[in-house]
A and B are shown apart, each in its own frame.
Chain A
Amino acid sequence: MFYYVLIFILIQFISYMLIVRNLYIFKSEKGIFLYHLIPGLLITAITIYLWFILKNTVLADLILCISLYGIYAISFLELWSLAQGGYSLSIIEEIRIAEFECRKPDINKLVSIGKIKFTNRIQSLLNKKILLEEKGNFELTSKGRLIFTVLNFVHWLVNGKYQHIK
């Protein structure tokens, strides 16, 4: 069974290279996420069907298939999102251009990229009903509080230091 998943991953990657990456709909975060999520759910459903209904496969095979596809999808999406909008990568890029043009790095340009990113993210969080705005004051909705609890737990686990926005 897992050989089929490997072949499927290969076909999905080749079709991305040849067609999908040039299509406008798959240039957005949502589009590329769905491009990986839907086949992932399909693979899970098919393997569960084969294991549970037809008794045609073993549980280990099912877990292997899901894990293989999961590893591929997460790696792909991580690289995709980093290449799309990694702020730190934009900083390195600006410094590299400054070196190339024999000038000092333009911090204002980096600050304005930060401003654009920040404004876009706030808008996106408002659209997803994670944030609530009232006269310029922002607070978390109940959905936002739930997300905060999860984030805060993982943050505590890795002993991370979050960055204040003000």
Chain B
Amino acid sequence: MIVIYSALFFSISVIVHSIVQRYIKCNSVISFAIISSFFGLILFWKSYLEFFISIQSLSILFSYFFMCELYIFFFTLIMSSISANLILDLGFNKKIKISNEITNYEKMVDARVARLLNNKFLIEIDGILKTTNKGRVLNKTFLYLKKFFRHKNLICKKNL
């Protein structure tokens, strides 16, 4: 019953999100977060009425969150991962010749810059790209995380 409840509400969230994405142009992560939170609240209310605050109601809620998180992880990976994009491209085009001469790497940068501009992490002033406050906060957070996880830095020369 627990799994059925969570899986049912998760499926509803995915379907509603899929419909919304076709009619409203918005950030897919934010729209899924809003939709899944809304259905999460309904699920919480429903499980509270049935089980009150118990192991059962907690497990319904957490398994629902787990499915939602996994789904967000999966679709953001598909949209932004180089490997996933390559697999999709090859799936649609059957065969692709790849070499440094013909692969447009600048297009990879352009697509990401466009997404960052669209999500207001960057701003273009007189043809020069600048970071917004949101972009600077993101940059600082991930520099801290890089240090925390002991990752090598690809381009940073100094600590900003």
Contacts and interface: CB of A to CB of B under 8 A. Distances in A.
The A interface, classified by DSSP as helix, strand, loop or mixed, is helix
Nearest to A113: B154
Contact of A97 (B107, B112, B157): B157
Given A71-B62, A160-B78, A166-B104, A64 B156 contact: no
Interface residues of B, number: 81
Nearest to B64: A67
Of the listed residues A66, A74, A165, the one surrounded by the most CB atoms of chain B closer than 10 A to its CB is A165
Given A67-B59, A87-B82, A88-B116, A59 B2 contact: yes
B74 to A, nearest CB: 6
Interface in A114-166: 114-115, 117-118, 121-122, 124-125, 130-131, 136-140, 144-145, 147-149, 151-152, 154-155, 157-166
Interface residues of A, number: 80
Given A61-B59, A92-B122, A118 B82 contact: yes
Interface string B72-99: 0111001110111111111100111111
A59 B155 CA distance: 49
B88 A162 contact: yes
Contacts of B28: 158-160
A91 B112 CA distance: 8
Contacts of B22: 159
A107 interface: yes
Contact of A158 (B21, B66, B73): B21
Given A67-B66, A138-B90, A138-B96, A163 B55 contact: no
Give the one of A21, A96, A99, A139 with max B CB within 10 A.
A96
A2 interface: yes
B69 to A, nearest CB: 5
Contact of B112 (A64, A88, A100, A104): A88
Interface of B: 2-3, 14, 17-18, 21-22, 28, 32, 54-56, 58-60, 62-63, 65-66, 69-70, 73-75, 78-80, 82-91, 94-100, 102-109, 111-113, 115-116, 121-122, 128-131, 135-136, 138-139, 142-143, 145-146, 148-151, 154-158, 160
25 contacts: A21-B148, A59-B2, A61-B59, A63-B3, A64-B62, A80-B149, A83-B149, A88-B80, A89-B139, A91-B109, A92-B135, A110-B109, A113-B155, A114-B108, A131-B90, A136-B97, A136-B99, A140-B91, A151-B84, A158-B21, A158-B28, A158-B78, A162-B84, A166-B102, A166-B107
